[in-house]
């Protein structure tokens, strides 16, 4: 009996630890900007921050509230801005990460597995400009990477899209990205949805789309992940022409 109780306790401990490893308190993702020219139709100097804010329960499912901000300056305005952009609700279940209720990443997947791209939401409603069919994402490779002495699973994902879905002459384009367990966000965009009714196509979540992942960090012993494709400071903003300092709270 004691052995059974010990086994149950160990199982609960492992399960709880695993559940807490994804998006803990202090989780933050720093991105460069994917398409600076189209960002507010102004040239931005700054970065995109996705920040864990709180836990919430929606339809009996515990979810993570993640808010998006632009930190920096726009155009010739020297004032350093903190612009709220959007809120997403994510949760993880058995190594599958969901954006709203759609699969974002499935780290249990094998090569050849597919799922449908997440629905594009704008201001909490399905985006009218991006209501093309949800095409599949395919896992073309799996692997592991060691980050801060922690072995994490990786997924190489592939999907296709047309810049203008309704155009018969629009070419089909193939894109790939790599997602890392725990860090979850990919090496190029926050989600793998694409707005196919825009020309040129824009990555979803926001029309301009965050670009290269700079860093991920949280308040646990895991520390900070620095994307090897980015060699600068996580929250780098050029100080040339800044009118005042700004501290994000």
Summarize pLDDT for 117-173 with one digit per residue, the tens: 877 655 445 554 454 567 788 999 999 999 999 999 999 998 876 655 556 676 777
pLDDT score of 14 more than 60 = no
Cβ neighbours of residue 41 closer than 8 Å, sequence gap 6 or more: none
Q: Give 118's DSSP letter.
A: P
- The residue among 174 and 186 whose pLDDT is bigger is 174
pLDDT, average across residues 204-228: 76
- Name the band, by pLDDT with cuts 50, 70 and 90, for residue 22: confident
99 vs 12, residue with greater confidence: 99
Instruction: Select the more confidently predicted residue: 119 or 213.
Output: 213
Contact 100/88 with Cβ under 8 angstroms?
yes
CA atoms in the 13 A half-sphere facing the CB of 200? 8
Question: Using 50, 70 and 90 to split pLDDT, how confident is the model at 195?
Answer: low
Which is it for strands 136-147 and 102-106: parallel, antiparallel or unpaired? unpaired
Q: What sign does the dihedral 179-118-160-108 (CA atoms) show?
A: positive
| Greater pLDDT, 210 or 114 | 114
CA gap 155, 178 in Å, rounded = 6
pLDDT score for 233: 92
- Is 94's pLDDT higher than 50? yes
Least confident of 13-22, 86-95, 218-227: 13-22
* Measured distance CA(185)–CA(217) in Å, rounded: 12
The residue among 89 and 127 whose pLDDT is bigger is 89
The 10 Å Cβ neighbour count of residue 60 is: 5
Position 62 pLDDT exceeds 90: yes
DSSP bridge partners of 45: 73
* Helix or strand (DSSP H, E) at 6: helix 2-20
In the chain, the percentage of residues whose pLDDT exceeds 90 is: 29
Q: How far apart are CA 246 and CA 44, in angstroms?
A: 16
Q: What is the model's pLDDT at position 241?
A: 64
Helix (H, G, I), strand (E, B) or coil at 3: helix
At residue 151, the pLDDT reads 93
d(CA 57, CA 64): 9
């Amino acid at each position: 009996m004691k052995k059974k109780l010990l086994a149950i306790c160990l199982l609960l401990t492992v399960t709880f630890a695993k559940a807490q490893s994804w998006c803990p308190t202090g989780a933050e993702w720093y991105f460069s900007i994917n398409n600076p020219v189209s960002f507010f139709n102004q040239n931005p100097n700054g970065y995109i921050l996705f920040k864990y804010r709180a836990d919430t329960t929606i339809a009996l499912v515990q979810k993570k509230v993640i808010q998006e901000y632009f930190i920096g300056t726009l155009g010739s305005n020297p004032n350093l801005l903190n612009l709220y952009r959007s809120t997403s609700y994510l949760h993880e279940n058995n190594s599958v990460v969901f954006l709203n209720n759609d699969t974002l990443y499935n780290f249990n997947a094998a090569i050849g597995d597919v799922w449908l791209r997440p629905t594009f939401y704008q201001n909490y409603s399905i985006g009218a400009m991006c209501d093309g069919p949800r095409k599949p994402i395919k896992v073309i490779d799996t692997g592991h990477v060691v980050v801060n002495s922690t072995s994490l699973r990786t997924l190489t994902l592939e999907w296709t899209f047309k810049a203008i879905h309704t155009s018969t002459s629009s070419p089909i384009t193939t894109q790939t990205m790599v997602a890392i367990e725990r860090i979850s966000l990919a090496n190029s965009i926050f989600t793998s949805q694409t707005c196919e009714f825009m020309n040129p196509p824009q990555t979803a979540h926001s029309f301009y789309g965050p670009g290269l992942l700079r860093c991920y960090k949280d308040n646990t012993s895991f520390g900070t992940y620095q994307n090897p494709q980015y060699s600068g400071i996580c929250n780098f903003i050029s100080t040339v022409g800044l009118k005042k300092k700004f501290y994000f709270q």
